[in-house]
Amino acid sequence: MSALLAAWQHAPTHKRVWALAAPMILSNLSVPLVALVDSTVIGHLPHAQQLAAVAIGGSLYTLLTWAVGFLRMGTTGFAAQAAGRQDGSALRQVLLQGLLLGGLLALALILLALPFSAAALSLMQPSAQLDALARGYLQIRLLGLPATLASYALIGWLLGTQNARGPLAILLTTNLLNVALDLLFVLGLHWGVAGAAWASVIAEWSGALLGLWLARSALQRYAGRIDWPALRRWPSWRPLLAVNRDIFIRTLALQLVFFLITVQGTRLGDATVAANALLLNGLLLSAHALDGLAHAVEALCGHALGARDRNALRRSLIVAGGWSLLASLGFALLFGFGGHWFIYLQTDIAAVRALALDYLPYLALLPLIAVWSYLLDGLFIGATRAREMRDAMLLALLPGLALGWWLQPLGNHGLWLAFLGFMLLRSLSLGAYAYRLTRADRWFAAMPARCAD
What percent of the chain clears pLDDT 70, i.e. is strictly above it? Answer: 89
d(CA 283, CA 255): 14
> Higher model confidence: residue 148 or residue 271?
148
Region 127-148: mean pLDDT is: 80
95 or 28, which is more confident?
A: 95
Task: With beta carbons less than 8 A apart as the criterion, state whether 305 and 442 touch.
Answer: no
Domain ranges of the chain: 2-439
Q: Which of 13-27, 119-133, 138-152 is most confident?
A: 138-152
Residue 108 identity (one-letter amino acid): A
Query: Considering only 154-158, 185-189, 413-417, which range has the smallest mean pLDDT?
Result: 185-189
Instruction: Determine the pLDDT at residue 449.
Output: 44
| 284 touches 37 (CB < 8 A) | no
Does position 425 have pLDDT exceeding 90, yes or no?
Answer: yes
DSSP of 397-420, one letter per residue?
A: HHHHHHHHHHTGGGTHHHHHHHHH
Q: Is the overall model pTM greater than 0.75, yes or no?
A: no
Chain segment 191-203, per-residue pLDDT in tens: 877 888 888 899 9
Residue 48 has a pLDDT of 61
27 — pLDDT class (breaks 50, 70, 90): low
User: Distance of CA 452 to CAs 105, 241, 308, Å?
Assistant: 20, 11, 19
In this predicted structure, the answer to whether residue 429 has a pLDDT above a threshold of 90 is: yes
**CA–CA separation, 296 vs 301, rounded Å?**
8
- State yes or no: pLDDT of 356 exceeds 70: yes
Average pLDDT estimate for 43-50: 62
Mean pLDDT, the chain, integer: 81
* Tens of pLDDT, residues 252-290: 788 788 777 777 777 777 778 778 888 888 888 888 788
What are the helix (H) ranges across 268-359? 270-307, 310-346, 350-358
Higher per-residue pLDDT: 46 or 338: 338
Q: Are 327 and 371 in contact (CB under 8 A)?
A: yes
Is 391 a residue whose pLDDT tops 90? yes
pLDDT(158) > 60: yes
Question: Could you tell me the pLDDT band of residue 433, with boundaries at 50, 70 and 90?
Answer: very high
Higher pLDDT, 361 or 56: 361
Residue 103, CA atoms < 13 Å, CB-side half-sphere:
5
